[in-house]
Chains A and B, each alone.
Chain A
Amino acid sequence: MKQPYTPRPNSNRKFVGSYRPRIDAWEKARGKVEYVDDITLKSRFPGMLYAKVLRSPHAHARIKNIDVSKAEQLPGVVSVMTYKDPEFASMRLTNAGWTDGVDTVSFDRKMWSAFNDRRVLGDYACWVTDEVGAVVAAESEEIADEAIRLIDVQWEVLPFVLDPIEAMKPGAPLVHPEVTQNNVLPPEKLGGDDVFLNKGDVDADFANAEVVIDGTSIHHNATQASLDNWCCLVDWTDEKLILYSNSFEADQTRMHISEMLDLPMNKVNVISSYVGGQFGRGDTGEQPFFLFTAILSKKTGRPVKFKHTRRDSFHDSRQPAIYYGKVGAKKDGTITSLYFKSIGNTGAYADHSIFALKFAPLEISEVSFAHIPNVKLESYAVYTNKLPACMMRGVGNSQFNLIFGHVVDLLAEELDMDPIDLCIKNFGHEWGDFPDKSLMEVLRQGAEKIGWSEKRNKPGQGPIYGKTKKRGVGFSLHPAWHAEWQEVRRGRIPISITLNPDGTVILDAPTIETGTGSNTCNVLGCAESLSFLGVTPEKILWNHVVNTDTSLKDCVQTDSSVAYLQSEVIATVVEEIKQEIFERAEPVLKAKPEDMDIVDGRIFIRKNPDQSLTLKELFFQGDMMPIVVIKNKLANAEKTGVPYFANFAEVEVDTDTGKVDVLHLVVINDCGQVMFASGAEAQQVGGQVMGLGETLTEEIIYDEITGVPLNFNFIDYKIPTMADMPEIDPILLEIWKGAGEYGACGIGEGTLTCTPRAIMNAIYNAIGVRINDIPIKPEKVLRALGKV
């Protein structure tokens, strides 16, 4: 039996922080939950057509000529449209980086307006499988597929480049010459210059420092791999455009369609229900297919469904990055200078590339390195003819952690110091006491659970198991980010609560449920706030459908923070509900609101508690009008710092075969406040599949000669299964506290940010040789050991 987490002393929460099933567990376990592909079956949309898009067979090419006549003649084909049609030709250039989902923005305010590199349907393809040239609407998917094959395209095949270092060299093929003449995304106002932080003088400090170390690390193109492939249905057969999709943004999608198709917002209806996993996908280009599906619907006068195959859904990925890091320190372990330089493989479209490369290191510098006198950060985002890349359960933090955890381990070794002591000595945040309490407790608990002091050997010097196997332990840490003060950009967050006459509750806390469990967090938060009425989670209905016609603006599942953001607003809505109950009770109890109180659903006069009535009695003798309160609130901007998280790993490496087995993972997250313990632990345990996968087995492999990706499928893109996963211990802490009622922070992304580096440091501890590019497959281990 594993132990439950220990809540902060005297917190006395009734529901928040509890271990319990998710509110949607029954429906999900019975297969009753409907995802977009289920909702848009043909039986529900008679007359529906299926859309397919032409995909580039070349890594880099332009359409010289296109002939769709054979496709048009195929029976069952209703419409074939090309980039030459005025609907597409007149559409303005755009990009997929309007927003990271945190806020809703218009075309003019989109984040990366310097990089308008996408056409909704154009004649130019810059990676193999790029959606380009023509779209088809047909009576069945098979007919649509066949029609695509019948399109005769004359391609002007262009030279291509896959590697960012090659792409930066003079004379390299240019991926988007209209944006950049050297494939490097030019500096712009949001991300700043190539050197985007330069505090003190790192070069001078490196020259004088007692100890200087440096190293590199390379992260790759892992993919989100949500099982729920991209899918949408557009019904634009009348004046109004209705979109069903599995995007994680409803309000922003409505804005996007409204702006791109010049439709008033009340004529665009975006509907989303449950989504089968998101993990950051959707920041690299889902919008073009909403738009061409819409145009096909308008053209044909019929609802049109567009669905990716599994292969097509290899559409987004984590941005690969090559990092160089250098650290200067005193002999006592005090770090005096830090320098990090990165080269990111942006892939075919810019999207949020700059976000990943520049914001993540800037964030950690602001909190963890605030007191280090010399810090320099430098980044280059480079276009290549590969899969576009950006967000994946985090934006750049996994990539940055790979180098950060590396230089920490290198420096500790150079100083002959325990890296845990080195971290506690050096990292904290500018608002907190030093040493940082959250950091210390996170590392202490992780070390204890993994058996740090017993199991840690001199690198490669430990005992040998079964003749050829060696074991080691490692860890990595990161600041959590995603505290409430960091979510102000989100703008006002709306909540509506309806209190029914019988004391049941309808909670409108709109967000597209992608599996994160924020729905359960909010129901628990709502029950907690309404516990004076005797409300329990079972009495609360949470609406799972977000419909822009009827729902409030949705709070997008990004930054892992919806779990507490909406609950903070719920707490203020409930204050108003309480006041309205008193006002309604005033003529009945003949007392002033300020003289009343409510406990367990009974409203009474404080001085004379016998004079009372229940909520139900109050409603049932009145007009039965439910109490409805809608409020919105900005996140609390009070700077409260951030907590820490860390991962510890124990590995066993077979020095004969090169195989790495992870034996044990410990995942420690300081949450501030645990909102829903079972959900939080599910995130901690669950995140390791992605973290371990991208460290050891997952990798997109390209044919370097043609640029063709070779393994866009779940057979060759190896996601760990139940048999591959080690023992995992999740540890939830409540050490740090943010502002507001709960003072929580997001943890979902932070469960796996440190997994790769923790495993890599453990491998070094086991075999005494460093491997710094993931995934670490057996051949890399053998090569590192000098065996091949």
Chain B
Amino acid sequence: MPKPSKGTKKTVATPSSEIKIKINGCWHTFEPERDIEPTMTLSYLLREKLGYTGLKVSCDEGACGACTVIMDGKAILSCMMLAVEANGHEILTIEGLAKDDPIVEAFAQQCEPGYGTALQCGICTPGFVMSTKALLDENPVPTMTEIKEALSGHICRCGCYAGIAQAVTHASEKIGKKGGES
């Protein structure tokens, strides 16, 4: 099994046969074929091999957003990327967010009358949270149109879109406040 190694090695694709992926702040080294087969998707590596079960695989073809993780600051569909393509890159899964992450907090707390909660069955939630993180990192105060644009690649069959949009707005406010304090 791959061994995580602490360190701050730079994001450089090594010419060696090793595959290195930084996951939630830790570099992991994999041996091709043994650990990662050429056809293995990133979602498979993360879930099945490494146990990051926060991301979900539902459609497995880039249509639902449940497997979203962040690579080098951008939200990506981990079911649509081969594990080898992540070589030398930095991946953030929902497990890598801080316990008091303002986005997680906003999704959990949404109960403002008239919009419903931001989650019900919860299976799509980690994907929405990660896309929201990528959005707010790039655009800390998005308009409603921008929120809808950024999150419309996700399906929530429980239909909590209105609650999610509120949560994103609240998360943006929370982050703004935090930034103002520090």
Question: Taking beta carbons and an 8 Å cutoff, which residues of A are in contact with B?
Answer: 2-5, 19-22, 24-35, 37-38, 41-43, 224-229, 274-277, 279, 309-310, 514-517, 677-679, 681-690, 713-715, 719, 721-725, 728-730
Contacts and interface: CB of A to CB of B under 8 A. Distances in A.
B70 interface: no
Contacts of B54: 30-32
B56 A35 contact: yes
By Cβ-Cβ distance, the 10 closest A-B pairs, closest first, are A2-B114, A31-B54, A515-B121, A276-B123, A682-B116, A28-B122, A686-B159, A689-B159, A714-B63, A31-B126
A276 B116 contact: no
Contacts of B87: none
A682 B163 contact: yes
Contacts of A277: 120-121, 123, 157-158
Interface of B is mostly: loop
Contacts of A227: 56, 58, 64, 66, 121, 123-124, 155, 157
A682 B158 contact: yes
A719 B157 contact: yes
Nearest to B66: A227
B149 interface: yes
Which of A20, A26, A41, A723: most chain B Cβ within 10 A?
A723
A683 B109 contact: no
Contacts of A24: 122
A24 B158 CA distance: 15
A679 B158 CA distance: 11
A25 B109 contact: yes
A274 B122 contact: yes
Contacts of B59: 310, 713-715
B158 A515 contact: yes
Interface in B97-147: 97, 99, 104-105, 107-126, 129, 147
B48 interface: yes
B129 A31 contact: yes
Given A25-B117, A687-B159, A19 B111 contact: yes
Interface string B55-91: 1111111011010000000000000000000000000
B161 A714 contact: no
B63 A31 contact: no
Nearest to B150: A722
B160 interface: yes
B142 to A, nearest CB: 13
A117 B58 CA distance: 30
Of B120, B125, B155, B161, most buried by chain A (CB within 10 Å of CB) is B120
B159 A690 contact: yes
16 contacts: A25-B109, A31-B126, A226-B157, A228-B56, A228-B121, A229-B58, A275-B121, A309-B60, A678-B117, A681-B116, A684-B116, A690-B159, A715-B63, A722-B147, A729-B114, A730-B114
B113 A4 contact: yes
A688 B147 CA distance: 20
Interface string B145-182: 00111011111111111111100000000000000000
A280 to B, nearest CB: 12
B89 to A, nearest CB: 21
A516 B158 CA distance: 9
A674 to B, nearest CB: 11
A276 B161 contact: no
B114 A274 contact: no
A648 to B, nearest CB: 16
A722 B108 contact: no
A713 B58 CA distance: 10
B31 interface: no
B113 A279 contact: no
A2 B148 CA distance: 20
Nearest to B107: A29
Contact of B97 (A30, A514, A677, A682): A30
Contacts of A690: 157, 159
Interface in B32-57: 47-48, 51, 53-57
Contacts of B58: 227-229, 276, 310, 714
Given A310-B61, A719-B155, A34 B53 contact: yes
Contacts of A687: 159
Given A21-B110, A722-B148, A685 B48 contact: no
B61 A5 contact: no
Given A35-B56, A310-B58, A721-B154, A728 B162 contact: yes
B45 to A, nearest CB: 13
Given A25-B117, A41-B51, A682-B116, A31 B94 contact: yes
Nearest to B149: A723
Contacts of A21: 108-111, 117
A225 B126 CA distance: 18
B80 to A, nearest CB: 12
B95 interface: yes
Contacts of A224: 157
A279 B159 CA distance: 12
Contacts of B159: 685-690, 725
A34 B51 CA distance: 11
B121 to A, nearest CB: 3
B121 A514 contact: yes
Contacts of A35: 56, 123
Contacts of A33: 122
Contact of A276 (B60, B113, B122, B151): B122
A722 B154 contact: yes
A460 B93 CA distance: 52
A714 to B, nearest CB: 4
A368 B69 CA distance: 50
B54, B111, B122 — which one has the most chain A CB atoms within 10 A of its CB? B122
Contacts of B118: 25, 29
Contact of A678 (B111, B158, B164): B111
A43 B93 CA distance: 19
A729 B108 CA distance: 21
Contacts of A723: 148-149, 152
B124 A685 contact: no
A514 B122 CA distance: 9
A318 to B, nearest CB: 14
A725 B56 contact: no
B61 to A, nearest CB: 6
A121 B180 CA distance: 64
B113 A19 contact: yes
A720 to B, nearest CB: 8
A681 B162 CA distance: 10
A28 B124 CA distance: 9
A82 B31 CA distance: 39
Contacts of B156: 686, 689, 722
Contacts of A713: 59, 61, 63
A37 B60 CA distance: 14
A685 B108 contact: no
Given A28-B125, A274-B121, A725 B161 contact: yes
Contacts of A3: 113-114
Contacts of B64: 227, 714
Nearest to A687: B159
Contact of A722 (B99, B107, B126, B161): B161
